[in-house]
Amino acid sequence: MPDRADLTESFMQHLRARSPGEDDFHQAVEEVVHDVITIEKDSAAFTQARVLEQLSEPDRIVSFRVVWQRDDGGIEINRGWRVQTSNAIGPYKGGLRFHPTVSQSVLKFLGFEQVLKNALTGLPLGGGKGGADFDPKGRSEAEVMRFCQAFMAELCKYIGPDHDVPAGDINVGQREIGWLFGAYKKHRGQFHGSITGKGESFGGSAMRVEATGYGVVYFVMCMLATQNREIGGARVAISGAGNVATHAAEKALQNGATVVSLSDSSGALIAKDGLGQEAIDWVREVKGKGGNLSGPPAKLGLDYREGAAPWGNVEADVLLPCATQNEMDADAMRAAIDAGARLVAEGANMPLTADAVEVARKKRLLHAPGKAANAGGVAISGLEMSQNAHGRQLDPGTVDEALRDIMTGIHGRVVEEAGKGEWIDYRRGANVAGYRKVARAISAMGAI
């Protein structure tokens, strides 16, 4: 059999020819193909089903025009998409992102990752992703609401509780989900769990808002336990200032860690001696109003560095990149390692460039990919779907306990497939465990 590198390159040449210019998508697929292609080739059933080729060609992509009205009466036109990647193990499931950088390539990469992530949760969830190239920055609340309504007027034709269940992602929080759900209900005339991340007064699950960030920290606690360490006393550098970043910071603080940074695209907040809950609350308030992180109140003891990222700018042994894809390159990773990094857990989806991943691997950092470490959000979305289906609402304590169990379960599945040796290859473990589950389902169903 040709070696892994040749098999991967031959697969990727074909993929690049079929989807030219979709660099983010190629990056996400290549990492997985590298780790699982020999497993596919060693299995007659998986080879026959051509699982990797099926997974790297979404079931369908819906693209549509979104027309909405500004406050001054002018008309704006954006493009919306829903990428339905695979429903092999459950309804399509994955968030909606509103950002000017959203493109078909970005959503294909996110949908591809989501399939494997959702498989890792152990819940019956397929994968997909959607969004629009709409930039909410500088828009009034009424404009964002009208955009959400116009977006859902079209999207509602392609989703539903047993078919495709979107949720939030960048710039789509509980406020936007409320407007999206309201529009869905109006157009479809049905009240059911067609979207997750809803407010608790209309079917949302307790803890969905917190789940991704808290889940990242629960996962890190499992990683540290493999080294007989605890998170208490660790110095944790976090990038981002949104839902995932602030909840990861909160949970790390609650467990005794020293959180030394947060950041946004304008710059980084550095807290050499650690930041407190007051700082997190201030970040939430300022970001909630559409501001940036410059000018924190002096009493918070934060040092704002314009244009900087946390990496290498403060001593930290645990890194939680929680902002966006490819936010951390090889130089940033080297700088972070020089500043003491020993463990990386991805709160964002694919926050490391391929070169940064290689630097981390060579230095034998423990590195958990997003599809494992940030799966807590979609897992609680899965619980929201089952709560909606059964007409019940679980209390926060029960959901938090379930979240912890699910993250521990994912950690166990990943470690089991990570290969032998002292160093745990979390990337390989996550890719293999997610792939095996989906591949078994696809090959069992035959070519239809």
Ligand X SMILES: O=C(O)CCC(=O)C(=O)O
What residues are designated binding site? 93, 114, 117, 168, 212, 243, 381
Rank residues 54 and 374 by Cβ distance to ligand NAI and give the closer one.
Answer: 374
- Residue 49's CB is within 10 A of a number of other CB atoms, namely 21
Rank residues 143 and 176 by Cβ distance to ligand X and give the closer one.
Answer: 176
Member of 107, 167, 245, 414 binding ligand X (CB under 6 A): 167
Rank residues 8 and 349 by Cβ distance to ligand NAI and give the closer one.
Answer: 349
- Picked from ligand NAI, ligand X, none, the partner binding residue 265 (CB below 5 to 8 A depending on kind) is ligand NAI
Per-residue x/- track, 184-213, ligand X (CB under 6 A): ------------x-----------------
Rank residues 155 and 268 by Cβ distance to ligand NAI and give the closer one.
Answer: 268
Member of 121, 171, 387, 431 binding ligand NAI (CB under 6 A): 171
Q: Count the site residues for ligand NAI by CB under 6 A.
A: 25
Could you give phi then psi for residue 364, rounded to 5 degrees? 60, 40
Could you tell me which residues are beta bridge partners of residue 321? Answer: 239
Q: Does 374 bind ligand NAI (CB under 6 A)?
A: yes
Q: Does 250 bind ligand NAI (CB under 6 A)?
A: no
Q: Does 93 bind ligand X (CB under 6 A)?
A: yes
Measuring CA to CA, how many Å separate 172 from each of 349, 353, 400? 15, 24, 22
Q: Which of residues 304-363 bind ligand X (CB under 6 A)?
A: 349
What residues are designated binding site for NAD(+)? 212, 243
Q: Which residue's Cβ has the minimum distance to ligand X?
A: 95
Q: Does 126 bind ligand X (CB under 6 A)?
A: no
What residues are designated binding site for substrate? 93, 114, 117, 168, 381
Member of 131, 240, 310, 369 binding ligand NAI (CB under 6 A): 240
To ligand X, the closest distance from the beta carbon of 166 in angstroms equals 7
Q: Which residue's Cβ has the minimum distance to ligand NAI?
A: 242
Member of 212, 258, 313, 388 binding ligand NAI (CB under 6 A): 212
To ligand X, the closest distance from the beta carbon of 215 in angstroms equals 10
Distance, CA of 231 to CA of 213 (rounded, Å): 15
Q: Name the residues annotated as catalytic.
A: 129
To ligand X, the closest distance from the beta carbon of 129 in angstroms equals 6
Q: Does 377 bind ligand X (CB under 6 A)?
A: yes
- Per-residue HEC secondary structure of the chain comes to CCCHHHHHHHHHHHHHHHCCCCHHHHHHHHHHHHHHHHHHHHCHHHHHHCHHHHHCCCCEEEEEEEEEECCCCCEEEEEEEEEEEECCCCCEEEEEEECCCCCHHHHHHHHHHHHHHHHHCCCCCCEEEEEECCCCCCCCHHHHHHHHHHHHHHHCCCCECCCEEEEEECCECHHHHHHHHHHHHHHHCCCCCCCCCCCHHHCCCCCHHHHHHHHHHHHHHHHHHCCCCCCCCCEEEEECCCHHHHHHHHHHHHCCCEEEEEEECCEEEECCCCCCHHHHHHHHHHHHCCCCCCCCCHHHCCEEEECCCCCCCCCCCEEEECCCCCCECHHHHHHHHHCCCCEEECCCCCCECHHHHHHHHHCCCEEECHHHHCCHHHHHHHHHHHHHHHCCCCCHHHHHHHHHHHHHHHHHHHHHCCCCCCCCCHHHHHHHHHHHHHHHHHHHHCCC
- Residue 299's CB is within 10 A of a number of other CB atoms, namely 9
To ligand X, the closest distance from the beta carbon of 118 in angstroms equals 8
Member of 381, 387, 388, 443 binding ligand X (CB under 6 A): 381
Member of 58, 80, 91, 95 binding ligand X (CB under 6 A): 95
- Picked from ligand X, ligand NAI, none, the partner binding residue 93 (CB below 5 to 8 A depending on kind) is ligand X
Rank residues 74 and 307 by Cβ distance to ligand NAI and give the closer one.
Answer: 307
- In the complex, the residues that contact ligand NAI under the rule CB under 6 A are 168-171, 212, 239-245, 263-265, 287, 322-324, 327, 347-349, 374, 377
- In the complex, the residues that contact ligand X under the rule CB under 6 A are 93-95, 114, 117, 167, 169, 196, 349, 374, 377-378, 381
